[in-house]
C-alpha cells in the first residue's frame, strides 16, 4: 500500500479558489443541515396531516392519506429527487417550466427539500397513524361524549397522546433525514457528500482524510438529532405509562 | 405541457435496462442473504459474545447505522484500490451492501431473538443441548418466523437503496435507464419508466408483506 497521509490537508487552500478545504467542509455541513432541517419541518407537518387523514372515518380522506404514503414510500428517494429535478419541469406549462429550469433561485436546494420532505412525510404519516391507532378507542369516545367535535377530539385528546407515544420512532426518522439528505449531491447541492467527492479530486486523492471528516460530521448531525429528541422525550412523558418511571 | 412524449424509446432500450434491472435484483438478493447470515452472527455476538466481542459488534452496528449509505459506498470504492486491489463499481457494491445491510439485519434479528421467552433457552439446555444446538434448533426458527415481515420490509428498503450505486456509476436499473435515455435523447421518458418499475415492484412486495403479517399473526 502506498498511501500518502496528510492530515494537514484541511488547512491547505483549494487550488482553484480562495477557500481552504476546511471552509469547503463547513459549506457542505451548512447545506446538509439546511436541506435536512427544512425537509424535517415540512415533512413533519405534511406527515402529521396525512397520518391523521388515514385514521378519519371519511373514506375519501383516508384514501388520500393512503395514496400519499404508498406513492412517496415506494419509489427510492434518489429516483424521486431526479423526477422532481429533471422530469417535473417538463410536465409544467411551457413558460413556467422554462422559468423553473433557468431562473428559479436556489433551484437545487428547493428541489432537494421538496423531494426529501415528501419522502420523509410518507414515513412520518405511518408513525403518526400507528400512534393514533395504539390509543384505546375509549379515548376518542370520551372526547366525543364530552361534546367535542371530531376535530376538537383530535386536537385536545388524541394527538397530544399520540405524538408523545411516537417520539422514539420519530427520533430515528429525524436521524434518517440527515442520512437521506446525502442523495442531494446527485442534483448538485453542495452538501457534505458532494463536497467530499470534490475534495477527493481536488486534494489529489486524500481519500481517508476527506471521508473521515465527512463521516464524523454526519455522525455528529445524527447524534445531535438524537440528543435533542431525547430531551423532548423526557420532558413530554405521559404519566402512568410504562416508560414514565 | 412543454414537452411531447415519445415512449417508443422504451422498447429500444429494454435489452440494456434489463441488464441493469438484473444487477439491481441480484445485488438485493446477494446483500439480503449475505446480510442475514452476517447479521445473525453479529446479533449472536452482541447477545452472548462476552464484553469485548459484544461491544466490538455493537460499535460496528451502531457506526454503520448512523452514517449515510452513500458515504459507505464511497469509502469502500475509493479505499479498495489503495489498500487491496482495483475493483469494478459492481463488485464493490456487492461487498459494501452486504457489510452495510448486515448492521440493519443484525438489529432486527437481535430484537427477534430477545422477543423469545427465556424459558425456551433453559428448556434447550435442560434437554442437554449445547448453546449452538439450542440456538439453531429452538430459538432461531421461532425468532425468524416472527421476524419474517420485518426482514422482508428491510429487503424492500434495501432494493430501493440499491439505486444509490449511482454515486460510483455502477450499471443498475436507474443508471442504465438514464444512460439509454441520454443516448436516445429521451431521458425524461426513461426516468419515468425506471420510477414506475421501482414503484410497481416495491408496492406489490409491501402489499404481500402485509398479507404475510396477517397470516403469521393468526397462526400465533
What pLDDT score does B5 carry? 78
What pLDDT score does A58 carry? 92
Q: Does B67 touch chain A (CB under 8 A)?
A: yes
What pLDDT score does A54 carry? 94
Q: Tell me the CATH number for domain A11-235.
A: 1.10.3720.10
How far apart CA A70 and CA A31 sit, in angstroms, is 29
Using pLDDT thresholds of 50, 70 and 90, give the confidence band for residue B101. very high
Beta carbons of A76 and B68 less than 8 Å apart: no
Q: Which candidate from B74, B199, B206 shows the least CB-CB separation from A75?
A: B199
More confident residue, A122 or A230: A122
Q: What percent of chain A has pLDDT over 90?
A: 64
**Is pLDDT above 50 for A245?**
no
Using pLDDT thresholds of 50, 70 and 90, give the confidence band for residue B220. very low
Beta carbons of B191 and A71 less than 8 Å apart: no
- State how far residue B203 is from chain A, nearest Cα, in angstroms: 6
- The residue ranges of every structural domain in chain B are 9-219
What pLDDT score does A244 carry? 52
- Closest residue in A to B169 (Cα) is A186
Beta carbons of A193 and B192 less than 8 Å apart: no
Q: Which candidate from B1, B68, B160 shows the least CB-CB separation from A91?
A: B1
Using pLDDT thresholds of 50, 70 and 90, give the confidence band for residue B158. very high
Mean pLDDT score across all residues of chain B: 91
Least confident of A241-245, B26-30, B120-124, B145-149: A241-245
- A vs B, Cβ pairs < 8 A, gives 119
What pLDDT score does A62 carry? 94
pLDDT tens-digit profile of A157-203? 999 999 998 998 899 899 999 999 999 999 999 999 999 998 888 88
> Residue with C-alpha cell 419508466?
B193
What pLDDT score does A204 carry? 80
Beta carbons of B83 and A200 less than 8 Å apart: no
How far apart CA A99 and CA B5 sit, in angstroms, is 20
**Is pLDDT above 70 for A124?**
yes
pLDDT tens-digit profile of B168-199? 999 999 999 999 999 988 899 999 999 999 99
- Spatial neighbors of A171 by CB under 8 A, at least 6 apart, are A225, A226, A229, A230, A233
Q: Which of B59, B65, B68, B173 to mutate to test the interface with A (most CBs of A within 10 A)?
A: B68
SS (H, E, C) B78-118: HHHHHHCCCCCHHHHHHHHHHHHHHHHHHHHHHHHHHCCCH
Question: What does residue A20 show for φ and ψ, rounded to 5 degrees?
Answer: -90, 170
pLDDT tens-digit profile of A64-120? 999 999 999 999 999 999 999 999 998 888 888 888 888 888 899 999 999 999 999
What pLDDT score does B3 carry? 62
pLDDT tens-digit profile of A59-68? 999 999 999 9
Which residues in chain A are closer than 8 Å to B61, comparing Cβ atoms? none
**Is pLDDT above 60 for B11?**
yes
Using pLDDT thresholds of 50, 70 and 90, give the confidence band for residue A20. confident
- Closest residue in A to B153 (Cα) is A74
Given phi > 0 = left and psi -120 to 50 = alpha, else beta, which region is A186?
alpha
What pLDDT score does B217 carry? 65
Q: Which of B9, B20, B67 to mutate to test the interface with A (most CBs of A within 10 A)?
A: B67
Which residues in chain B are closer than 8 Å to A209, comparing Cβ atoms? none
More confident residue, A150 or A8: A150
Q: Does B86 touch chain A (CB under 8 A)?
A: no
pLDDT tens-digit profile of A149-160? 999 999 999 999
- State how far residue B140 is from chain A, nearest Cα, in angstroms: 26
Beta carbons of B71 and A185 less than 8 Å apart: no
pLDDT tens-digit profile of B117-156? 889 999 999 999 999 999 999 999 988 888 888 999 999 9
Crossing angle of helices A167-180/A207-235, nearest 10°?
Answer: 160
**Cell digits of residue A203:** 486534494
What is the architecture of the domain spanning B9-219?
Answer: Orthogonal Bundle (1.10)
What pLDDT score does A8 carry? 78
**Cell digits of residue A107:** 433551484
What pLDDT score does A16 carry? 74
- Closest residue in A to B68 (Cα) is A179
Contacts within 8 Å (CB) and 24+ apart, B73-76: B73/B164, B73/B165, B73/B167, B73/B168, B74/A193, B74/A196, B74/A197, B74/A211, B74/B167, B74/B168, B75/A211, B75/A215
Beta carbons of A94 and B202 less than 8 Å apart: no
- Closest residue in B to A175 (Cα) is B66
CA dihedral for B163, B36, B149, B44, sign (positive or negative): negative
Q: Give, in order, the Cα–Cα distances in Å from B146 to each of B121, B142, B156.
A: 17, 6, 18
More confident residue, B84 or B38: B38
Beta carbons of A90 and B1 less than 8 Å apart: yes
Beta carbons of A79 and B82 less than 8 Å apart: no
Amino acid at each position: 500500500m502506498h498511501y500518502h497521509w496528510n492530515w494537514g490537508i484541511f488547512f491547505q487552500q483549494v487550488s482553484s479558489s480562495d477557500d481552504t478545504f476546511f471552509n469547503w467542509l463547513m459549506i457542505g455541513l451548512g447545506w446538509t443541515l439546511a436541506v435536512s432541517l427544512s425537509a424535517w419541518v415540512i415533512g413533519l407537518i405534511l406527515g402529521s396531516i396525512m397520518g391523521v387523514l388515514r385514521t378519519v372515518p371519511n373514506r375519501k380522506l383516508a384514501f388520500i392519506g393512503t395514496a400519499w404514503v404508498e406513492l412517496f414510500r415506494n419509489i427510492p428517494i434518489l429516483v424521486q429527487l431526479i423526477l422532481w429535478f429533471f422530469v417535473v419541469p417538463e410536465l409544467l406549462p411551457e413558460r413556467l417550466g422554462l422559468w423553473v429550469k433557468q431562473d428559479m433561485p436556489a433551484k437545487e436546494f428547493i428541489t432537494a427539500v421538496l423531494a426529501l420532505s415528501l419522502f420523509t412525510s410518507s414515513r412520518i404519516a405511518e408513525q403518526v397513524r400507528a400512534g393514533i391507532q395504539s390509543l384505546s378507542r375509549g379515548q376518542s369516545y370520551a372526547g366525543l361524549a364530552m361534546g367535542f367535535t371530531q376535530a376538537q377530539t383530535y386536537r385536545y385528546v388524541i394527538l397530544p397522546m399520540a405524538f408523545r407515544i411516537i417520539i422514539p420512532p420519530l427520533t430515528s426518522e429525524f436521524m434518517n433525514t440527515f442520512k437521506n439528505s446525502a442523495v442531494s449531491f446527485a442534483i448538485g447541492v453542495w452538501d457534505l457528500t458532494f463536497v467530499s467527492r470534490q475534495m477527493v479530486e481536488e486534494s489529489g486523492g486524500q481519500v481517508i482524510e476527506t471521508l473521515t471528516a465527512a463521516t464524523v460530521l454526519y455522525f455528529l448531525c445524527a447524534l445531535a438529532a438524537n440528543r435533542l429528541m431525547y430531551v423532548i422525550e423526557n420532558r413530554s412523558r405521559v404519566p402512568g405509562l410504562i416508560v414514565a418511571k | 405541457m412543454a414537452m411531447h412524449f415519445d415512449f417508443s424509446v422504451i422498447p429500444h432500450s429494454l435489452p440494456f435496462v434489463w441488464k441493469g434491472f438484473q444487477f439491481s435484483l441480484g445485488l438485493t438478493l446477494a446483500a439480503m442473504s449475505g446480510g442475514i447470515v452476517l447479521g445473525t452472527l453479529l446479533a449472536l455476538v452482541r447477545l452472548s459474545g462476552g464484553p469485548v466481542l459484544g461491544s466490538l459488534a455493537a460499535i460496528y452496528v451502531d457506526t454503520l447505522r448512523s452514517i449515510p449509505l452513500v458515504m459507505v459506498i464511497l469509502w469502500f470504492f475509493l479505499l479498495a484500490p489503495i489498500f487491496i486491489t482495483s475493483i469494478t463499481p459492481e463488485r464493490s457494491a456487492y461487498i459494501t451492501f452486504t457489510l452495510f445491510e448486515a448492521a440493519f439485519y443484525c438489529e432486527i434479528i437481535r430484537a427477534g431473538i430477545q422477543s423469545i421467552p427465556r424459558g425456551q433457552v433453559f428448556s434447550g439446555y435442560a434437554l442437554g443441548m449445547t448453546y449452538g444446538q439450542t440456538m439453531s434448533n429452538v430459538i432461531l426458527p421461532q425468532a425468524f418466523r416472527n421476524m419474517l415481515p420485518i426482514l422482508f420490509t428491510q429487503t424492500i428498503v434495501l432494493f430501493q437503496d440499491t439505486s444509490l450505486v449511482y454515486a460510483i456509476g455502477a450499471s443498475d436499473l436507474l443508471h442504465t435507464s438514464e444512460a439509454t435515455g441520454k443516448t436516445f435523447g429521451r431521458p425524461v421518458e426513461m426516468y419515468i419508466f425506471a420510477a414506475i418499475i421501482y414503484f410497481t415492484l416495491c408496492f406489490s412486495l409491501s402489499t404481500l408483506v402485509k398479507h404475510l403479517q396477517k397470516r403469521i399473526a393468526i397462526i400465533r
